[in-house]
A and B are shown apart, each in its own frame.
Chain A
């Protein structure tokens, strides 16, 4: 009985914070748009019988028929995947430097990685607009050095979205990789060199495989939120960047079409569940290996 009570608490938590909201969103996605408050029909006020008979998969059919949505999902997947790879390249480098830094410097470096979280995410993305715009700091600096003759168009392109995502999510990549590299026994690298590896070979054959779990964890921590990212593409990406987070926002607030927006959200969740399950399995395997 006591055991049941103990397990019941986290399950109640999951139920209240995950399952109930999901059921509500799923229900809305099966409804029809209406000029009322809330802006869909049916509601439970219509009685149980008519309520269930009015639900259908019309909105999902609509998503399939309009190629805007498919393109937005595909484009989101591509942008999330590319920015995960970019973040990995930047983050691995940083994590490696941190793990190799003298012991007394590590807390400071760690602090510097975490420090940006103390400022609002929105303000930091706005700051990038100031850096990347035509009259921004970056263009002014490049013009001043004479490297370019005319200002570059970076803001409102996909490049700006990549910059924004890499900047925002790189700490999520650094921390798990650093944790893996920090645990790495330095004598393993020496052993690899002793057995005939060059520095680079030792890195590929020992360091990379032994930080694999950190790489996988970091990649999922970046990929999952980047896939549904809304703020960065809408502030930095301009109208040319198609991402599902932005489509979702527009359906919800501009078109006030809650049922279609909910359907978009449900599909997004289904796409996300696959990497989340993979991530969980990786975490579990890692825990088993350590035990």
Chain B
């Protein structure tokens, strides 16, 4: 089977659908977006990820037309959209609060945008029925928003924003109000709908798991700047900053100084009186340069004896055990006070687990398990 991987960002001939060029947005003294440049391609599921106040919502509102950039340009399909008002953009938005019209039925909410375009009545009916089916809301068409559940309201908001078949759909924390179980189910539904309709989705979220699950690419943002823009796999496996690594998933960060050791290998001097850690890195570090070694907990092994072949092994005591059902995370305190988190799969019953609180254990990992970061 000859299946091409969807990766337009690696194809230099591909034209991006949206192009942010040196966009800056200020609210008085406050800089919400700081000189941001990025491309979003057609049919992408693009996630803007960051803590609240990082500027991701401002970016989305600029795409929708509710804010204009202070400087820089935003292009949609090659056209500068700064002067285009929200009602003239081929962009629709799903609001965080859903913003369903309380005085209109579910059907009328979905038909609202179509009626504004003076679509013939028959076509409106066809389109609305299609969207109701897509979001499994056929039974609720005649109800008012206050007569349906939160999850159903969320689907009405999605159906309404998809009704006009926009080039670009913006989703502002779309699943924020749902409980964990429903949120997970809806994430897959969203991906399914995105695939079926072929619409470009831009989702704003502060939930890294959500971004990782749904997105084709993720932009990690902090204080108005893009920290890293890559596929979820790359951001997880090869973060370019300690901030990004920390924000996406769980990570251990060991800070120290680097000293070159053979080809693409380094020693990390991290504590007085301890053997240096061995790590490999594609990015060159000079002798004595500050560095941070980021290691994911699942890549750290825990054992009672020092494993003979381990490249990196440190002794410590078990401080805490977080039991997650399928996994357990051990918090191991090293003599210097640093805490290393090591994750293991629970293949045995809890009562039969090998380690308990206050046990002396070895944590170990390979030289390629971690990523060496400069900042």
Contacts and interface: CB of A to CB of B under 8 A. Distances in A.
Interface of A: 185, 187-188, 190-198, 201, 205-206, 209-210, 212, 289
A264 B328 CA distance: 86
A214 to B, nearest CB: 13
A209 B108 CA distance: 14
Given A190-B66, A190-B86, A191-B93, A196 B113 contact: yes
A198 B65 CA distance: 13
Contacts of B99: 185, 187-188, 190-191
A194 B103 contact: no
6 contacts: A191-B93, A193-B86, A194-B86, A194-B161, A195-B113, A195-B160
B64 A194 contact: yes
A198 B103 contact: no
A206 B101 CA distance: 7
Interface in B109-128: 112-113, 116-117
A160 B111 CA distance: 47
A195 B95 contact: no
A187 B103 CA distance: 15
Interface string B77-96: 00000000111000111011
A68 B259 CA distance: 108
B362 to A, nearest CB: 55
Contacts of A185: 97, 99
Contact of B87 (A188, A193, A212): A193
A95 B101 CA distance: 21
A206 B99 CA distance: 11
B107 to A, nearest CB: 14
Interface of B: 64-66, 85-87, 91-93, 95-97, 99-103, 112-113, 116-117, 146, 160-161, 163-164
A187 B97 contact: yes
A196 B95 contact: no
Contacts of B117: 196
Contacts of B163: 195
A192 B112 contact: yes
Given A190-B86, A190-B99, A210-B102, A195 B112 contact: yes
Contacts of B100: 191
A100 B14 CA distance: 45
A198 B102 contact: no
B85 to A, nearest CB: 8
B103 A209 contact: yes
A201 B116 contact: yes
Contact of A195 (B66, B102, B146, B164): B164
A192 B92 CA distance: 10
A113 to B, nearest CB: 27
A187 B102 contact: no
A192 B64 CA distance: 12
A206 B102 CA distance: 9
B63 to A, nearest CB: 11
Contact of B103 (A190, A195, A197, A210): A210
Given A193-B87, A195-B164, 14 more contacts: A187-B96, A188-B99, A188-B101, A190-B64, A190-B86, A190-B93, A193-B65, A194-B65, A195-B87, A195-B116, A196-B164, A201-B116, A210-B102, A212-B103
B157 to A, nearest CB: 9
Nearest to A188: B99
A191 B87 contact: no
Task: Give the interface centre of A192, A195, A209 by most chain B CB atoms within 10 Å.
Answer: A195
A195 B100 CA distance: 12
A32 B112 CA distance: 64
The 4 closest A-B CB pairs, nearest first, are A195-B113, A196-B116, A191-B99, A187-B99
